[in-house]
Structure 1
Amino acid sequence: MSWKVTLPCTRQEAEALHEEDEWLATMDPVPSIVADEVEAFNDAKWRIEVYFAKKPDSSIVALIQSRLPSAAEAKPILAKLPDEDWVVLSQQGLKPVRAGRFYIHTDANKGKVPADTISIHIEASRAFGTGGHETTSGCLTMLDKLKRQGKRYELIADIGTGTGLLAFAACHLWPRAYLTASDIDPVSVDVTAENARLNGYLLGARQGEIALCTASGTDHPLIRQRAPYDLLIANILAGPLIELAPSLAQILGEGGTLMVAGLLDSQACAVVSAYRKLGFRLQRRQNTGDWPCLIFVKRTRYGWQRPLRADGRTSQPPGDFGTW
């Protein structure tokens, strides 16, 4: 049997817990930790679940609680679990996602893949983007619509790639394109490489391959050298989208398509305003729940009329995927 200890915490406390910490390394076997938000957009309302191969004694539970100052007065919840893989248990609530022609699944929820879909295997992992959130599924649907409209792209970049899901979808839709995928978090880049191998997508710099790099926004030689792009995808957060507007404008070719997502409906006006000021035209807006996906087109006369002040960087910290 296996055991689970659940405690409330803050987001900062959850992110400070790592399996490599010395206090965890002394335990044999080393327990696994899963952190999750309890209330969306509330960093004070998180929880951790610590999984053990055998029942932890009170001193171990007290040690964990001591590392969570906000849980000092909380009563730990100790639960006995069936003898199953905790990763599978943590993913039982996930369902496969169908978005456009794509079918996104994990090992635990694959089920029967519909015959008319493209299957992509993405495990719930250390990076954002398993397809289950409306902002990601909305992007997949929009990419599918662009393809059905006959859009053709030769140079594509996915800025803030997370697990690589949107880059994989674009690679399937436009298999002869040169595709770049980047993220501010090196863990996400590693996860994307793992997922690419898992799904049979090639990594590299040639047509039909995905070139990976770790970058803050567009601040990387690989991203700059491959510009101008004719399709940019940025499924990040509203703040970084606004902050990166001049930089994204700088690397997108005239007449190019920009897809942005990761913003709430209440944030859309501010994002649209930031890009309109730079000469972009909002071509389409698709809402999936409270999460819009926006398609902009860069005006062909843009560039020589307006100076750009862009350093390519964002202040978004690595590992901050929002509250998906």
Structure 2
Amino acid sequence: MSESAVQIIAHGDRAVAEAAAAALDADPLLEGATYSILEEDEERGVWRIDAFPTTDEEAAGVEARLKAQDGLTVTVDKLADADWLAMSLSGLPPVEAGRFFVYGAHDQGRVPPNRVNLKIDAGAAFGTGHHGTTVGCLLAFDELLKRERFERVLDVGCGTGVLAIAAAKTGSRVAVGTDIDAPSVRIANENAALNQAKARFVHASGLNDRKVRGEGPYDLVFANILAPPLVALAQDIKEALKLEGVAILSGLLRTQERRVTAAYLSRGFVLERRIHRDAWSALVLRRKG
């Protein structure tokens, strides 16, 4: 943890902000960095990046990357000596995505009836449901559920486990999540228990791990990670899916759609849908070959 917690804020037009976000994603030393990008002022065309680094090294790296982007103004605010992650999460409103309602403990009394309610404790893991990539995945899944069911579901890079838990709560008999980050796996399993969902999360470095491969082939694979690993995992995701199986991919910017889509089309997938949330994209692809 950083000796003094900071929030790094950057402002610029959309092209500049997206280029800066892509630079953060491309830096291997910042692979675990948590940030958001959104349109702050539609009328003036101002976009905003908020980053919450967890170490001094990460803070220095994020600040340097953002300041290197021409046209971006960057400020660093020191946060009060408190549990700033818990404080920031407590102020987040619930998320509604189709039939899904994602909420934290502070919204226990606001849970609506007749919805698929998902109580998610983020802890140190990514995926409260508020990020545009997670919302995009849930919206895509909600639309698919209107016409088909998925018996076996895999969530690659599960974070808090929200996507696999959503699958388990909507009838999937097998819902498996995997992450290279051991604390995320622990938190995801705790969230599954909290939601009384039959989802299982394992610490694994790839889709060829026997704990992952043994439950396949899958009807649906979620992969809400980053564009480079989405491209690198294209063949592995294909092999994890049965024929006519569906991949819901996110964690990529709109500017990265073409590269990611091409990697899957070349392996026999067809693109069925795109969902855009802020600068982010979610892709729905079906394996045909």
Give the secondary-structure state (helix, strand or coil) at the position aligned to 1:258: strand
Q: Which residue is 1:132 aligned to?
A: 130
Q: Which residue is 1:187 aligned to?
A: 183
Is this contact kept in 1: 2:153–2:221, CA < 8 A? yes
Q: Which residue is 1:225 aligned to?
A: 214
Q: Cα offset for 1:221?
A: 0.3
Q: Cα offset for 1:111?
A: 4.7
Q: Which residue is 1:96 aligned to?
A: 94
Give the secondary-structure state (helix, strand or coil) at the position aligned to 1:193: helix
Q: For residues 76 and 35 of structure 1, what CA distance do their matches in structure 2 show?
A: 6
Pick the aligned partner of 1:145 from 135, 139, 143: 143
Q: For residues 178 and 220 of structure 1, what CA distance do their matches in structure 2 show?
A: 17
Equivalences for residues 1-324 of structure 1 within 5 A:
17=1, 36-39=7-10, 41=21, 42=24, 88-149=86-147, 151-175=148-172, 177-201=173-197, 209-299=198-288, 302=289
Q: Cα offset for 1:278?
A: 0.6
Alpha-carbon distance change, 238 to 115 in structure 1, aligned in 2, over 3 angstroms? same
Q: Cα offset for 1:76?
A: 9.0
Amino acid at match of 1:279: G
Amino acid at match of 1:212: F
Q: For residues 124 and 253 of structure 2, what CA distance do their matches in structure 1 show?
A: 23
User: Per-residue CA shift, 1:29-83, capped at 9, x if unaligned?
Assistant: xxxx75655347356995669xxxxxxxxxxxxxx99998899xx99958598xx
Q: Which residue is 1:21 aligned to?
A: none
TM-score by length of 1: 0.66
Alpha-carbon distance change, 173 to 65 in structure 1, aligned in 2, over 3 angstroms? closer
Q: Cα offset for 1:146?
A: 0.9
Is this contact kept in 1: 2:5–2:81, CA < 8 A? no
Is this contact kept in 2: 1:38–1:47, CA < 8 A? no
More helix by share: 2
Q: For residues 247 and 88 of structure 1, what CA distance do their matches in structure 2 show?
A: 36
Give the secondary-structure state (helix, strand or coil) at the position aligned to 1:91: helix
Amino acid at match of 2:153: I
Q: Cα offset for 1:210?
A: 2.2
Larger mean Cα displacement after TM superposition, 258-267 or 120-129: 120-129
Q: For residues 130 and 47 of structure 1, what CA distance do their matches in structure 2 show?
A: 15
Alpha-carbon distance change, 126 to 281 in structure 1, aligned in 2, over 3 angstroms? same
Amino acid at match of 1:100: G
Q: Which residue is 2:46 aligned to?
A: none
Q: For residues 247 and 67 of structure 1, what CA distance do their matches in structure 2 show?
A: 30
Larger mean Cα displacement after TM superposition, 263-272 or 223-232: 223-232
How many residues align structurally?
243
Q: For residues 81 and 163 of structure 2, what CA distance do their matches in structure 1 show?
A: 38
Q: For residues 112 and 235 of structure 1, what CA distance do their matches in structure 2 show?
A: 27
User: Per-residue CA shift, 1:183-214, capped at 9, x if unaligned?
Assistant: 1111110010111111112xxxxxxx323211
Q: Which residue is 1:314 aligned to?
A: none
Name structure 1 gaps, 5 residues minimum: 1-16, 19-23, 25-32, 50-63, 202-208, 303-324
CA RMSD of aligned residues (A): 3.2
Is this contact kept in 2: 1:88–1:108, CA < 8 A? no
Q: Cα offset for 1:131?
A: 0.3
Is this contact kept in 1: 2:7–2:76, CA < 8 A? no
Amino acid at match of 2:167: A
Alpha-carbon distance change, 110 to 281 in structure 1, aligned in 2, over 3 angstroms? same
Is this contact kept in 2: 1:160–1:217, CA < 8 A? no
In percent, how many aligned pairs have the same letter? Answer: 36
